[in-house]
Structure 1
Amino acid sequence: MISYLFQSILFQLLFLIVYDLFLKRDTFFSHNRLYLLITSLLSLVIPFIKIDSFNTLLDSNSIIVLPEIVLGSLNNQSNTNYSYDTVVSLMTVANGYVLITLIIFSVFVIKLIKILKLIHQNPKTIQDNLTIVHLKDTNTAFSFFNYIFLGDTLTTTQRQSVFEHEKIHAKQKHTFDLLWFEVLKIVLWFNPLVYLYQIRISNIHEFLADQNAVKFNKSEYYQQLLQQVFNVKTYAFINPFFNQSLIKKRIIMLQKSKTKQTHLVKYLLLIPMVLGMLVYSSCSNESEATKDPIVNIQTETLDINNSKQIGVDLPFSAIDQSPLFEACKTLVDKDHQKKCFSDQVSNHVLNNFNTKLADNLDLKKGITKVFVSFKISKTGEIIDVMSRAEHPDLEAEANRVINNLPILTPGMHEGKAVDVVYGLPIAFKIK
């Protein structure tokens, strides 16, 4: 879930950056509206899409992650405590999320009820297949679906200009756009980019309505914008006629020359962006282990660093034979060979890693981890051993143990030896 949220937020950020840098100053308001709606949806969908063929785009240093090795005894009690603490922590976060979501949803419902009350309690007339709700003793003006709300203190000229503007909101179904982002705000209230999306779509709605309504009476329309700012309650999912923060932008856009049609080519930026996101999403596989903190990391997408003789990088599952220990040579099935290899590496580390070394390193009590990467070359030798740990002495010990692995039968493909890069997580408890 964390991986999904990270990817979706990252994609939204990239989409918004492109919009702000290349698109928002153009007068292609309808195209920009579609861009914001489509990209807000794509950012949520793309992280779910996994295209296996994109994994071949990974570089030749991709690592085969072996199952985690646990050194020493992590007794049942400590595991139980870890599980309990983890569950309690996750429940606390989940309960907090649900509580805030319910509060925001409740506020949305209250605002919606207020709108419905205005419709029910005030006189209405029909014009151009739209329902005009006449609000008493106010000069507010806004739209909601096919309802246009007009204050009865508006002058006849004002009512005419406002109606033409709000009619565009109603005809083009702008309320659906705003409600879509309201839903996103309810579910993803912690994501600030959703609010930025909603601000931009609201601006586009006003530009679209102005662009069409100004044809009715241009000079009068400008006067209406400049004359005053009406007091409109902010419901987020309505389209108010006058919004003080938008007046200047709307006037600028009304005076702006139409953008040349050749600038439409900028929307083609979506193609490489979406393709890149699909590659990133497909190659960022989230293992089941990351969803459950009690489960160890298991083997993920497997790739090899192929020899120059082969000429291309191949998935590990595609090679004819994995590297073999002496004890694994009698096995034929590739899955059995991989399991045998993993078991032999685990036994070697379990029997040779000096866990007492950590007792004198002044490390925090609890579980610590060392991650080791190494390569089995075309000659079966262990090379390029590197480690990452909380202390250099642990890294040195991990390097020593892995370097002491015996020479193996190298991985083979089409009768030729290939290089294979491995990663190995090692965990043990410091008392």
Structure 2
Amino acid sequence: MLSSTLLYLAEASFCLAVFALAYRLLLARLTYFAGNRAYLLGALAASVVIPLLAFPGLADFLAGSVSESPAGRPLVFQLNWKPSPTAPAVAATGVGPDLAALLMHGLLGLYVLGALYKLVAATRNLRDLAQLAKRHPSTDLGAFAIVHLPEPSLPAFSFGRHVFLSPQHEALSAEERQLLLLHEGVHVRQKHTADLLLVEALGVLFWFNGLVPYFRQQLKTVHEYLADEAVARAQGSPRTYGELLIKLAAQQPPFALAHAFSNKQIFLRIKMLTQPTSSPMQKLRFLLVLPVFGFAWAATACTGSPATEVAATPAATTSTNAPAATATRIGRITWQGNTYLSTAELNEALGLKTGDAYDSATVVQRLNFDPKGRDITSRYMDHGFLFFSAVPTATPQPDGTTDLAFAISEGRKAKLRNITVSGNKKTSSTALLAPLPLRSGDDFSRANLMKSQTILAQQGKVNPAKIAINPKPVMSPNTPTDFVDIELVVEEK
């Protein structure tokens, strides 16, 4: 039973890797977001179910024979959730079987401890969200309920049928507030929270697998694309909505299970809003999903077929029963499309090299989410590249390594143009702007915007909870760069 459990986990992890790679290569860049959501959910479900199914005749068929049932008819499929065949008896004085059993129990114990830890963390996360909704006043709008939070620094986010807003969002204009609620309403109506709960459950079962966070991130991204698409379609023009996304870009979600209105993929979302719709012919890519699922089924069946295990010799059994190898080390690292930073500078910023352990979550963090601002996205967005994006591709190699390829889209630089202050009556705009690291003609810098907000709050002249920074991109195709107007909205004490 122990070996079957470990074999199942290995086969399910192999399926996750196959489906993640297929999504990255075939579907990730398409604008058919509903189809992408269906694929991601189907891939997660299939990764759980496929290893439970065996195809007993397949391995023997590849070897030149077909297994048959006792009645003489070929078997189609059967459940393969059963103990592995008993190993040959070994003398009591031998230590091999005892050491193997000890290792098996140790691995299973480690797995159970990790699963319990993830279960406790997920339960705590759900409890905190439920208590947050109960502790604060709410307004039921029928389709969803708005929970009014007192902390102004919290972002707008949704969970289940609850949309959480802070005083900052209550102060938005009527049009901006309508766009925000329309966006969050799509999350509620399409039940996006249920998708995240499914991934959270699989995160407990496969806590050791770095691909589960990848699927979670891709699902959340597709959810945001679906909501953005619905708002843009209702609004007619994405300009005002895009400006609202940038306005709230500095705020980050407090819970992994929540859908934040604005997140760190803000500029990729804006780019997707303005990207032409994928051609109808590209829908044919979804047909390629069928052979991908068939390959995953065939590979796990060849590995776990009971008929093959019984008939194989010891040497063949070792080869057949071994779980599909997964890449554990980084092979080649390549970059395409970069001009501002050299390949050497990008490799230094990534902080990974050939031979290092490969972990998809680490790659994503080094690319986008370093809390200290040392990620590659910050290297660009803090130096004028407002619409920068980078798409990674991981390709397993026969030698057990994984090659990493990064497609860079730097976009045009953006310079600061007009910097204005509104809401100030007693203090001059010059006095408020003087200590800020914002100067007309300078390159756009996300770090400088956040630093300016901190300086304004520390001056003591304005209400720290009532500071808003509104970047307004100004496209200028006939000049070397685009421009950004910055509006600082304050409320004096």
TMscore range, shorter length: 0.5 to 0.7
Could you tell me whether the CA contact under 8 Å between 1:29 and 1:208 is conserved in 2?
Answer: yes
Could you tell me whether the CA contact under 8 Å between 2:55 and 2:305 is conserved in 1?
Answer: no
Q: What one-letter code is carried by the residue in structure 2 that aligns with 1:192?
A: G
Matched, 1:300 2:320: no
Matched, 1:33 2:37: yes
C-alpha change, 1:128 and 1:277, in structure 2 (3 Å) is: same
TM-score by length of 2: 0.54
Partner of 2:155: 140
Partner of 2:272: 253
Could you tell me whether the CA contact under 8 Å between 1:222 and 1:251 is conserved in 2?
Answer: yes
Partner of 1:220: 240
Q: What one-letter code is carried by the residue in structure 1 that aligns with 2:266?
A: I
1:268 aligned residue (283, 287, 293): 287
Could you tell me whether the CA contact under 8 Å between 1:58 and 1:283 is conserved in 2?
Answer: no
Alpha-carbon shift at residue 172 of structure 1 (Å)? 0.3
Aligned mates of 1:36, 1:371 — CA distance in 2:
35
Q: What one-letter code is carried by the residue in structure 2 that aligns with 1:171?
A: R
3-state DSSP of counterpart to 1:215: helix
Aligned mates of 2:87, 2:128 — CA distance in 1:
57
Q: What one-letter code is carried by the residue in structure 1 that aligns with 2:29?
A: R
C-alpha change, 1:298 and 1:132, in structure 2 (3 Å) is: closer
CA offsets per residue over residues 387-428 of structure 1, 9 Å max, x none?
A: xxxxxxxxxxxxxxxxxxxxxxxxxxxxxxxxxxxxxxxxxx
3-state DSSP of counterpart to 2:165: strand
Aligned mates of 1:260, 1:298 — CA distance in 2:
47
- 1:316-395 to 2 correspondence within 5 Å? none
Partner of 2:92: 76
Matched, 1:99 2:113: yes
Matched, 1:277 2:296: yes
Q: What one-letter code is carried by the residue in structure 2 that aligns with 1:222?
A: G
CA offsets per residue over residues 252-284 of structure 1, 9 Å max, x none?
A: 100011111221111111222222333333332
CA offsets per residue over residues 315-345 of structure 1, 9 Å max, x none?
A: xxxxxxxxxxxxxxxxxxxxxxxxxxxxxxx
Could you tell me whether the CA contact under 8 Å between 1:150 and 1:159 is conserved in 2?
Answer: no
Partner of 2:183: 165
Rg larger in 1 or in 2? 1
TM-score by length of 1: 0.61
3-state DSSP of counterpart to 2:164: strand
Could you tell me whether the CA contact under 8 Å between 2:22 and 2:292 is conserved in 1?
Answer: no
Partner of 1:125: 139
Aligned mates of 1:214, 1:146 — CA distance in 2:
22
C-alpha change, 1:68 and 1:61, in structure 2 (3 Å) is: farther
Could you tell me whether the CA contact under 8 Å between 1:67 and 1:298 is conserved in 2?
Answer: no
Q: Which has the higher contact order (CA 8 A, sep 6+)?
A: 1
1:153 aligned residue (143, 165, 168): 168
Alpha-carbon shift at residue 166 of structure 1 (Å)? 0.5
Partner of 1:2: 6
Aligned mates of 1:162, 1:39 — CA distance in 2:
31
Would you say how many aligned residue pairs link Structure 1 and Structure 2?
290
3-state DSSP of counterpart to 2:22: helix
Partner of 2:256: 236
3-state DSSP of counterpart to 1:148: strand
Q: What one-letter code is carried by the residue in structure 2 that aligns with 1:299?
A: V
Q: Indicate the larger mover: 254-263 or 149-158.
A: 149-158
Matched, 1:12 2:26: no
CA offsets per residue over residues 137-196 of structure 1, 9 Å max, x none?
A: 325210111111111222233432211111000000000101111111111110111111
Aligned mates of 1:240, 1:189 — CA distance in 2:
24
Partner of 1:108: 122
3-state DSSP of counterpart to 1:140: coil
Partner of 2:220: 202
Q: What one-letter code is carried by the residue in structure 2 that aligns with 1:77?
A: T
C-alpha change, 1:26 and 1:151, in structure 2 (3 Å) is: same
1:51 aligned residue (48, 52, 55): 55
3-state DSSP of counterpart to 1:258: coil
* Superposition CA RMSD, Å: 3.0
